[in-house]
Amino acid sequence: MPAANAVARAERAALCDLFLEVGPDAPTLCGGWTARDLAAHLVVRERRPDAAGGIVLPFLAGYTAHVQSGVADQPWEQLVATVRSGPPGWSPTSIAQIDGATNTVEFFVHHEDVRRAQAEWAPRTLDTGTTASLWSAAKGLGRWVGRRSPVGIVLAPDDGPAAGGTEQVKGGLPHVTLAGPVGEIVLALYGRATQGLDVQGDAASVRAFLEYPR
């Protein structure tokens, strides 16, 4: 049986390989950050609990930005090696089940943030293990991210273990249906542009879903 965090580890490794390939000044799709900024964010998130709160709490954002700037000043190869090494032993995410639950989507999305910001990229075909892990995460993610959505949200994957079915993650009418590959559904829930995803619903509802702040 694969480790609970197998997909998280694979996405982490692939992202670190890509970091080294594109270099620290490469663009990403994450809030205007460069690859260096994104790598520093991942280190702060995983290794600086005193500063990580600012990622989700606006009143701590200034301190987080200060710490992240210092982390980003490290030599590039050292910074990437720190990301690649994974969570420290004292972190709860060093436990495989917690790593899988918290880092599978995180590293998948940020891997795509770097991939899709480059001049030449193409959608990748995800293996069954990755698709299954992302679908498992997408349902909870949709309920969390979707809580602020002004419209209901239904997920309709066309690949993976739930292909052909639907999952409502935010109730209410009107609603939109995210129909397509699981990986693209995850990216849409994070507010990223997608490839091959059909956001179904009336025009006003689709616009409201695409524009609400994540």
> Do residue 156 and residue 65 come from a single domain?
no
Q: What are phi and psi of 200, to 5 degrees?
A: -100, 140
Residue type, 198: D
**Measured distance CA(207)–CA(139) in Å, rounded:** 22
Element (H, E) at 13: helix 6-22
- CA distances to 53, 73, 79, 178, 213 from 61, rounded to whole Å, are 8, 19, 21, 32, 17
> Do residue 84 and residue 151 come from a single domain?
no
Q: Residue 67 is part of which domain span?
A: 6-115
The pLDDT score that the predictor gives to residue 196 is 94
Residue 123 belongs to some domain of the structure: no
Contact 46, 88 (CB under 8 A): yes
> Do residue 68 and residue 160 come from a single domain?
no
Segment 79-137, tens digit of pLDDT: 999 999 999 999 999 999 999 999 999 999 999 999 999 998 998 999 999 999 999 99
> Do residue 106 and residue 13 come from a single domain?
yes
Strands 198-200 and 175-180: antiparallel
Q: Indicate if the pLDDT at residue 56 is higher than 70.
A: yes
> Do residue 11 and residue 47 come from a single domain?
yes
Domain boundary among 115, 150, 177: 115
Residue 111 belongs to some domain of the structure: yes
> Do residue 133 and residue 156 come from a single domain?
yes
Residue 121 belongs to some domain of the structure: no
Can you tell me the mean pLDDT for 167-179?
A: 96
How many CB atoms are closer than 10 A to CB 168? 16
What pTM value is reported for the model? 0.93
Domain boundary among 70, 88, 115: 115
Please state the domain count of the chain.
2
> Do residue 57 and residue 96 come from a single domain?
yes
